[in-house]
Amino acid sequence: MYNNMRKKLLILAAILTTVSVGAFAQARKGLRINEVMVVNENNFVDDYGQRSAWIELFNSNFAPLEISSVFITNDPADPTKYPVPLGDVNTRIPKRQHIVFWADGKPSRGTFHTNFVLNPEQPNWIGVYDADGRTLIDSITVPPMPYNSTFARKVDGEGVSALDWEVRSGEEGSIITPSSNNVIKDTNKKVDNFARLDGNGFGMTLSAMGIVFTALLLLSTCFYIISRIGAARSQRKKMVAHGINPAEIARTDKPEGDSGEVIAAIAMALNEHLNAHDLESAILTIHKVRKPYSPWSSHIYTLRQMPHK
């Protein structure tokens, strides 16, 4: 029995490992080479204040992506040239965000400094491989570039051909954006349409009021239903406490007998002719006293104490 249980646990662990590895592999397919600068004379500086060639990666997923243990290389014959180290919290890229690696050949400076450099006099092939060292995630061949220019995707993470890339010189309309979106959006289409259709804000006001009143109506309805349910349960408990079976009493049943007008006429006749009424615990009968009493006619108020001699 112990051996069977152990075997089942091992099978379950293997299945979970396979599923998790598959999920990570699926997520890493969204990693993209996004922008590359080969010759950096007066552009972005690293954490040591140095200017070197850099490679920007982009997480095109809509979820965070951990890239430790992937490989970055500039040699297709050596796919595991630079392994991204494990244990660095900064290798976790948030959704739709960027990260920059410095191709300065100085890996001793930290996680984001590769062990290779780029050659400005020839095309540079750059590839990113998965943790197995065989699965190519993304690659690009960067043509010889002018100084302080980049080879970048026209839209972050999109496109699979060279037509989806462009040379950026840093001038207006062709800005260089390390660790930022290649297309910087300063407007919001939805906001612009709302401002055009509802410039005075009346539509927004009505929408907000409608949402508030609808929520209040739903809350009041819920409270009413809950109170009715509570009252029904309370009545049911009282009936059970008095030995009455609620299942035998239909809610629509009414006691048979005389109507209210007949009962009132009988009560009035009893009161007028017999000076009596039916005994009920909820009725208090007050009889008029035979002799009226007034504190002002009492003799105790006419007594005076004589002073002691």
Residue spans per domain, the chain: 2-186, 202-246
Rounded to whole angstroms, how far apart are CA atoms 116 and 136?
Answer: 18
The CATH superfamily holding the domain 2-186 is Lamin Tail domain (2.60.40.1260)
pTM for the complete prediction?
A: 0.56
Lowest mean pLDDT among 79-93, 148-162, 261-275, 282-296: 282-296
Rounded to whole angstroms, how far apart are CA atoms 127 and 160?
Answer: 13
Rounded to whole angstroms, how far apart are CA atoms 157 and 55?
Answer: 14
Q: Is 165 helix (H, G, I), strand (E, B) or coil?
A: strand
Contact 133, 139 (CB under 8 A): no
Residue 50 has pLDDT above 60, yes or no: yes
pLDDT at 21: 43
Of 41 and 7, the structure prediction assigns the larger pLDDT to 41
Of 191 and 65, the structure prediction assigns the larger pLDDT to 65
CB atoms under 10 Å from CB of 4, counted, come to: 8
* Digit-coded pLDDT (tens) for 127-186: 999 999 999 999 999 999 999 999 999 999 988 887 899 999 888 767 888 877 766 555
pLDDT range class, residue 96, cuts 50, 70, 90 = very high
Contact 56, 36 (CB under 8 A): yes
pLDDT at 207: 84
The contacts of residue 116 (CB under 8 Å, 6+ apart) are 73, 74, 75, 81, 82, 103, 105
Contact 70, 137 (CB under 8 A): yes
